[in-house]
Structure 1
Amino acid sequence: MSSPTPRRVGLIGWGAIGRVVGGALAAGEIPGAELVCVVDNRPLGDSAPVPQYTVEQALDHCDLIVEAAGQGVVREWGEAILASGTDLLVASTGALTDDDLAKRLLHTGPGRVYFTGGAVGGLDLLQAVRAMGPLDTVRLTTTKLPSTLEQPWMDEELLARMRSAGGPVEVMAGTARDVPAKFPKSTNVAASVALAVGDPDAVRVRVVADPAARHTSHVIEASGAHGSYRFEVRHLPDAANPATSQVVPYAVLRSLAALAGRTGQIL
């Protein structure tokens, strides 16, 4: 029996996530997936192991695009990628808390859209529980270093409190619809939980800045008629980009392996 044709992968983004994902693909570490090109708005020279293309060129050569460059890419290019017949794997899940965008992506084809859970686990269990009935409460508390949470919209008073804090400081509280829009590079976990639960407005989120946070932490607490659940993950931040966790590119690679047809793994 002949082997199936490998997925031809284009990677958008050559940053902290993209370099790890691209390096593993180029080294043949994901059977059934071949890295064809990299898309980035900066000239990469010889730093990438494959040619650098525009998005339009990538769509002519690939059947799967991996987004590893931020929510803006999903908003700008998501529909065009899917309309071309190319599948899209989204790492920046925060973009999908925009209901209008999410609906357009789900109804655009023939390409298919997928998302990866990134730095958080337990999403499959939340999905299973939700199938039995609604959850009464879902709470997420994300704690990171203050410097990784600073945003242009913050006023001087909040920035001063974060920068001078001797302990944890609550930076924002809201829903999983509100928070990813305010922290587009730091709170994709909130969006991933919302996608698992099926309702961004049902997920209450606290974002905490802690100068002693050697690890980035995410605590998910959920309860309903069928039980109560609590997950806590603590990750080392990526050295090159502390706003993301070291584990995120490996979550992307695991999703890629599933899409490429690797067998014998928990799905």
Structure 2
Amino acid sequence: MSAARRVGLVGWGAIGRVVGTALAAGEIPGATLHRVVDNRPLGDLPAPQSTFEDAVADCDLIVEAAGQSVVREWGARVLRAGTDLLVASTGALTDEDLTKELLTTGPGRVYFTGGAVGGLDLLQAARRMGELHHVELTTTKLPSTLEQPWMDAELLHRMRTADGPVEVLRGTARDIPVKFPKSTNVAASVALAVGDLDAVRVTVVADPAATHTRHVIEAAGTHGSYRFEVCHLPDPVNPATSQVVPHAVLRSLGALAGRSGAIL
């Protein structure tokens, strides 16, 4: 049996706390929590808190659960050090130069978790058969989770006073995650699966009645058509993300650690 993966976890927020607690409790066979990295001083952690540099040097796998800026600043450095990297903040992949760098830098290997959406494996399989000529994502969330500094007073007023769904923005997977850096990683994940940021049309909707976050993916190609809809409860600590996201990270960790029965 191979040695357990030593995991360095970056971020002890809504996602990292769940992931780290599960790792420390031995819930992922073949993976152990070895280091925690966070820019705040933390106490009562299940593993030593350390600098990013020490975590990279001392771990086999870095799990990013702290935001797109971490991927941009540290992603390639982790891989050049020979340490593997699991990315949760896939919104960083709207930067094509960064994506190319992550995919070509080694000897460490980079992996991406699907987060709050499913069907990405099937879209990747369909893409092997031919181009997907229609890919559309509609994301619906509570208005408060979508407010951004760039929004003008008129849009903010419409969102805050709406008594039904309000279309906030349309665009592609290239530009929407930049506009909503904490709320639309799903758009970049879909684009990663289909291989084209500009092919994925994205609509962001604010709905005051959205007790669940909803993502609807519709895709079509010469070999078939696909529709996936997921509805998640928002995380109570950070409503911009869904409760399921840390468990998607844990599923990915289980697959990387070689747990039997994982769906690959």
What TM-score range do you get, normalising by the shorter chain? Answer: over 0.9
Alignment partner of 1:261 is 2:261: no
Aligned partner (choices 22, 31, 34) of residue 33 of structure 1: 31
Matches within 5 A, 1:1-267: 3-46=1-44, 48-267=45-264
Flag as ranges the 4+ runs of structure 1 deviating above 2 A: none
Residue 245 of structure 1 aligns to a residue whose secondary structure is coil
Residue 201 of structure 1 aligns to a residue whose secondary structure is coil
Give the counterpart letter for 2:236 in structure 1. A
Residues of 1 paired with 2:188 and 2:212: CA distance?
20
Residue 147 of structure 2 aligns to a residue whose secondary structure is coil
Residue 252 of structure 1 aligns to a residue whose secondary structure is helix
CA shift, 1:265, in A, is 2.3
Residues of 1 paired with 2:9 and 2:261: CA distance?
26
Q: Give the alignment's Cα RMSD to 1 decimal.
A: 0.7
Residues of 1 paired with 2:123 and 2:72: CA distance?
26
Residues of 1 paired with 2:222 and 2:234: CA distance?
36
CA shift, 1:95, in A, is 0.4
CA shift, 1:59, in A, is 1.2
CA shift, 1:106, in A, is 1.2
Residue 20 of structure 2 aligns to a residue whose secondary structure is helix
Structure 1's unaligned 5+ residue stretches are: none
Contact 2:254 2:262 in 1 (8 A): no
CA shift, 1:133, in A, is 0.4
CA distances 1:145-167 after superposition (whole Å, capped 9, x unpaired): 00000111111111111111111
Residue 198 of structure 2 aligns to a residue whose secondary structure is helix
Residues of 2 paired with 1:236 and 1:88: CA distance?
27
CA shift, 1:266, in A, is 1.7
Residues of 2 paired with 1:151 and 1:194: CA distance?
23
CA shift, 1:30, in A, is 0.3
CA distances 1:80-139 after superposition (whole Å, capped 9, x unpaired): 111111100000001012100001111211111000000000011111111110011000
TM-score relative to the length of structure 1? 0.98
CA distances 1:226-249 after superposition (whole Å, capped 9, x unpaired): 111111000000000000000000
Contact 2:140 2:206 in 1 (8 A): yes
CA shift, 1:79, in A, is 1.0
Give the counterpart letter for 2:8 in structure 1. G
TM-score relative to the length of structure 2? 0.99
Residues of 1 paired with 2:138 and 2:175: CA distance?
14
Give the counterpart letter for 1:38 in structure 2. V
Q: How many residues align?
A: 264
Residues of 2 paired with 1:262 and 1:202: CA distance?
34
Residues of 2 paired with 1:234 and 1:264: CA distance?
25
Bigger mean CA deviation after superposition, 152-161 or 249-258: 152-161
Contact 2:116 2:244 in 1 (8 A): yes
Structure 2's unaligned 5+ residue stretches are: none
